[in-house]
Structure 1
């Protein structure tokens, strides 16, 4: 690295690459740490791909509920693949460098898939509300064309929301001596704080994206389940109430698994910069790795049709 005086006449600087950090304080154990990470990535990719195969190959699963589950599985595959190369590269080979442009691309896809997952979970709550409150018209309302349009709207919303973020970062002047990222992947907040410029616009736009996507989605999901609970309590038979609520258990677990780490990480990035680096790292890994791992497990355990279809798909694949 050049001495500070070498940069006196430089008015604008962007690093050619960033250095990624592994698990703070546990660098010597990266080889061992890579074992559980590799296992989780394998489970995430295998489980979600099996869900996609199961829904595709099983005619009885060609229903709105399982189409939305396929969207969730596809999103989890994308989220997993967004972080897998750099994370395992750091843990396996100590390959810490990532180019500036590659970092922006990874950051765009990582955040885009996160917003897509939030939107899919909202669509799934709408699906459960329709199935419980208006079962006779459920299939007529959620036709294949409507589901396709919902899917396209979800992808468009996420892409349009996140598209300006890389360009807002490229306009910034970065500090030559600040190129160390806090994770094995690129977060918007992490990259943003390395700049030497005024980042007010970046902070405000990041807050806008968070409020207009994940925050609204979480509130809408709470509203959906309030309406679902109101409908269920209106059912005459206790058995019908239990049956109706049982169809929501998997989705409720998936919502908690995704939104709790997202909210925790957002709070820590904005108000917990004084916390130890390992806290930031652990919360980030829980947010990005755990939902893709747990979602296939949750749905295979709680849904017998999915479990049986996944086993058939696995036998045919093997």
Structure 2
């Protein structure tokens, strides 16, 4: 659905967004397709939602049909035979087990994660490693109860700062890794501890010798580092992160706001954090300053 009352504001936002893009991209980036965005709101106002009338699906499918042609003197026959054959095979796969769907690579269908290049092992900076390790912990569901416990622990230990949200968060980030390590170790000494094997190795910190890869497949999606993309036509080094983070107006802001914020970046290194029993890929990125 389209809210007509918001179209004018949307048209203004499109212009402002394109102006912001001009700060980061060269003039050659702004071809006719980028300029087309300026007219989309007017087209929606005149003709309704774009998806009711666009031709992209038909154009893409024409490319598929064109690939069916093996005999240029009989293109229609080639298309008909190939279409019937593929339709029959697709129908059969729905009634057979342990078969792959036509046209879908198994790695993408199964969500496989694996490196796609050779690695170089490097001893990374301890501060950077702690940042990556903290990010893994903060995004692991099994660790979330410990994060809540640690925040309560900090508020109890520092009652004068219990209302200073930013100070509490900074303190949590600086000592949570060590606190979790000792917390899990103390639980493991108990007979009926609830710590799992994965949590045990997560709390033990990753190996400082980190394998670095140039290309990595994560759940069927390929990611490259910037240096790899510099010599290629296709680009797979750009990332977008939607984070629930604390936003402050300045260093003296005592009333930060927690909200979702989007970050755009470019992958500089792909790390494979080694937790002895398993590994977790992580990206070291350069983030765009959108301020």
TM-score range, shorter chain: under 0.3
| Structure with higher helix content | 1
- Per residue, is there more strand in 1 or in 2? 2
Larger Rg: 2
Alignment TM-score, normalising by the size of structure 1: 0.23
